[in-house]
Structure 1
Amino acid sequence: MVVLLFIVILLLLIVLDDKLGQKIYRSKTAQKEYPMRNSNLTFFKHGKRLFNDYFEAIQQAKHHIHILFYIVKTDHISQQFYDLLKQKAKEGVEVRLLVDRIGSFGLPKTVIRSLQESGVKFAYTHRPTFPYFFYKLNRRNHRKITVIDGKIGYIGGFNIGKEYIGQDPKFGEWRDYHLKVTGEGVQDLQTQFFDDWAVATKEKLVSKNDYFPEVESGTIPHKFIATNGHFLENDYVHLIHQAKKELIIGSPYFIPSKKVMKALLDALHRGVKVMILVPLKADHPLVKEAAFPYFYRLLKAGAHIYRFYQGFYHAKVIIIDDKLCDIGTANFDKRSFFLNSEINCYIHDKQFIKTVRTAVNQDFADAEKLTLDFWRKRTLWERGKESVSMLISGLL
């Protein structure tokens, strides 16, 4: 009886901690919407091509390398990454590496010490602290940003590890979308890195010319949106309301909020073709099952839902009427809507969107269509897991 009472009190304290943490944090944060910029954008969907380009750009750095990742591993690809950063730091290049404390949990202290001894400035973001420990423990900095010499930027879904280049047999081919940015937009990625670095380390970097050199304007209009767990839901509702003919959504996790779900159903009711692409495999417990109740309502309303079977689908993309494309770090789930720090790129260029659309079409071709008949034939075990997943869907 005493043990049960202790458990109940502990759970109540965790819930109270979470609710108060949310309330306090929401009152102190704001969405950061950067200006419309013109940059040159390069689109990557294969890890090997991205990392070949990415490592080459780091190798050519002359002044600074600023990197934020959600996950960095300790395999041979990660070691190549660390060795390159240490080499550049020894050459006198300023190197700062910021990683999420929970996303990169288990990163050995020996790796961190080796980086620091070589001159790399290392820090964790989103360290859970008191008060509101449990709320902070559940928050993540899910952004992936790299800025090199203030002239080259990278943003997207890839992290650092062998699975991202298709070398983990559990997942096979890894599908993700990432952008290389040159031109005006790099300054906004730099500013966002400065903000995240200051939050994590309390060190405010000086905005001098070496960090913000003059750059030529590019040809592709776009803007970055940085959210901190409370604004992405409204952004996505607004995007969905803009769709007149077609709405494409690609995400590894599909757990929409009530407002987003209503917006999707409204789009279907007004005749918009809604196409959704998710992975067949799961990389986390219950996230796959958590999507099925939403799938049922969407399928009944006429949505087209596909599950990517050619490996693992980790890309985050929204395409609206071939007029607007969103590529970034945010998943189509409650965690990205209400907890994570994310950054997305809204692109307004028909030719570039056509390139992304071609890639998405290829991924749809490597996917199986989900049907209501399949949904109805789920086993009792599968239905049970769905019920459990719905109870904790905000934390998945």
Structure 2
Amino acid sequence: MNVALMLSVLLFLFIIWLVLDFHLGRKKHLSIVSRRETAIIHGDIDIFTHGKKLFADYFHELRNADKHIHVLFYIVKDDAISQEFFSILKEKARAGVEVRLLIDRLGSWKVKKAVIQSLREAGVRFAFSNHIKLPFLFYSSQVRNHRKVTIIDGKIGYLGGFNIGKEYIDEEPSLGIWRDYHLKITGRSVNFLQTEFLVDWHEYAGEDIMDHPTYFPVMTDGQVRHRFVPTEAQQLEQNYLTLIHQADNSIIIGSPYFIPCQKILAALLAALERGVHLSVIVPYAADHPLVQEGSFRYLRKLIRAGANIYQYKKGFYHAKTLMIDDKICDIGTANFDKRSMYLNKEINCYIYDPAFIQRLMEILKKDIEDSVPLTLAVLNKPNPIRSVKEGIAAVISYFL
């Protein structure tokens, strides 16, 4: 057997392994996943759209913690703001505050062993989520914990699109100003965020502390009607379909990555056909290879059907939102792509409060003003390199 033939056989066997690993891993995941979401609950919600303002508030609340700090992020980098974040957690742990930090194993790969050791020596309980593990190595490498949740003293919660790194405070020149949406929540509804963190912590750290009496202090209801919806496996797809089918007048989608599945695309096209006005906000420039090219074939179809597509130009657009008829808005950690719909663990907040929705509408209006319309003329202009990238992106769109 010559070398070329042997390599071809090995490549074929490798592809077969990848397909079987992914298929069987996904089947197992679907068989064990369960739905966890709240009924409509009440709390008070503020929104941050700029990283420097968010982290000034966030670090202030961390420093004021009295009892416990529970933190889950997808990405924590190795840079100045990350070091400040670690320093605060260590300072609070040394002062007797219970501190738990859960970060995704691949998303936070830059966190060094020495940093982890220093956290643990200071008293911080630390764990990685979503390890790559047998028997489904490839599938488990693709299922990431994309949630970004913090609960302080059981009374203050944070949820949204920001991670910990210099780009999130506008210190990455190639990306410019980072535009994102992050919620600060107070009131009784924080209890559910606490529960969701503790579920993940139990799964990955092996510590069952759900019955700890101080983690769920008695609090009053706030003013904003909302509910929290954690998702994984295929749950997000059905949630999006339900929301899109409810639309009578308008749908606004904001996402850094727009790679919907065929069911979602069909639902959006059907909404346009019944007269619903659809607007989509995406970045003008991409932060990852192929994600922009992966979106183009879907955006072409939507533009032809009458949708308005806007490319945000005043920095990088990383916000994740879905607005239905000015009546329901969804803000959370999930992107409008197949990875969030089928692979990642996410958590979103559905908000039903007219005053908050009006506030978000003003934010969306500003973001559209800071965007340029994307047209078929631009998308269809001959570009061999882009065409090749689109072809590659179409093949691997599930994993972008």
TM bucket normalised to smaller: over 0.9
* 1:41-52 equivalence runs, <5 A: 41-52=45-56
**Residue-by-residue CA offset, 1:161-190 (whole Å, 9 max, x unaligned):** 111011110100000000000012100000
* 1:184-199 equivalence runs, <5 A: 184-199=188-203
Give the partner amino acid of 2:358: K
Percent of pairs identical after alignment? 49
Residue 72 (structure 1) aligned with residue 81 (structure 2): no
Please report the RMSD computed on the Cα atoms of aligned residues, expressed in angstroms: 0.7
Per the TM alignment, residue 216 of structure 1 is displaced from its structure 2 partner at its CA by: 1.3
**Residue-by-residue CA offset, 1:212-258 (whole Å, 9 max, x unaligned):** 00011100000000001211001101100111111000000000001
Residue 33 (structure 1) aligned with residue 44 (structure 2): no
Quote the Cα distance in structure 1 between the aligned partners of 2:272 and 2:291.
24
Stretch moving more, 294-303 or 204-213: 204-213
Residue of structure 2 equivalent to 1:120: 124
TM-score, normalised relative to structure 1: 0.99
Residue of structure 2 equivalent to 1:91: 95
* 1:293-332 equivalence runs, <5 A: 293-332=297-336
Residue 374 (structure 1) aligned with residue 378 (structure 2): yes
Quote the Cα distance in structure 1 between the aligned partners of 2:143 and 2:191.
26
**Native 8 Å contact 2:311 2:372 kept in 1:** yes
Give the partner amino acid of 1:272: V
Structure 1 residue ranges (4+ consecutive) displaced by more than 3 angstroms after TM superposition: none
**Residue-by-residue CA offset, 1:147-172 (whole Å, 9 max, x unaligned):** 00000000000000111011110100
Aligned partner (choices 220, 227, 242) of residue 223 of structure 1: 227
* 1:136-285 equivalence runs, <5 A: 136-285=140-289
Give the partner amino acid of 1:127: H
Residue of structure 2 equivalent to 1:364: 368
SS of 1:285's equivalent in the other structure is coil
Quote the Cα distance in structure 2 between the aligned partners of 1:326 and 1:258.
21
* 1:52-71 equivalence runs, <5 A: 52-71=56-75
Quote the Cα distance in structure 1 between the aligned partners of 2:285 and 2:111.
26
Quote the Cα distance in structure 2 between the aligned partners of 1:339 and 1:294.
20
TM-score, normalised relative to structure 2: 0.98
Give the partner amino acid of 2:286: A
Residue 134 (structure 1) aligned with residue 138 (structure 2): yes
The change in CA–CA distance for 1:173 and 1:378 in structure 2 (over 3 A counts) is farther
Per the TM alignment, residue 95 of structure 1 is displaced from its structure 2 partner at its CA by: 0.2
Give the partner amino acid of 1:125: S
Give the partner amino acid of 2:170: G
The change in CA–CA distance for 1:59 and 1:391 in structure 2 (over 3 A counts) is same
Aligned partner (choices 81, 85, 91) of residue 85 of structure 2: 81
The change in CA–CA distance for 1:197 and 1:269 in structure 2 (over 3 A counts) is same
Structure 1 unaligned spans of 5+: none
**Residue-by-residue CA offset, 1:26-54 (whole Å, 9 max, x unaligned):** 00002211121100001100001100110
Structure 2 unaligned spans of 5+: none
The change in CA–CA distance for 1:207 and 1:11 in structure 2 (over 3 A counts) is same
Residue of structure 2 equivalent to 1:16: 20
User: Number of aligned pairs?
Assistant: 396
Quote the Cα distance in structure 2 between the aligned partners of 1:394 and 1:378.
26
The change in CA–CA distance for 1:378 and 1:212 in structure 2 (over 3 A counts) is farther
Stretch moving more, 203-212 or 287-296: 203-212
Per the TM alignment, residue 194 of structure 1 is displaced from its structure 2 partner at its CA by: 0.4
**Native 8 Å contact 2:26 2:233 kept in 1:** no
Residue of structure 1 equivalent to 2:350: 346
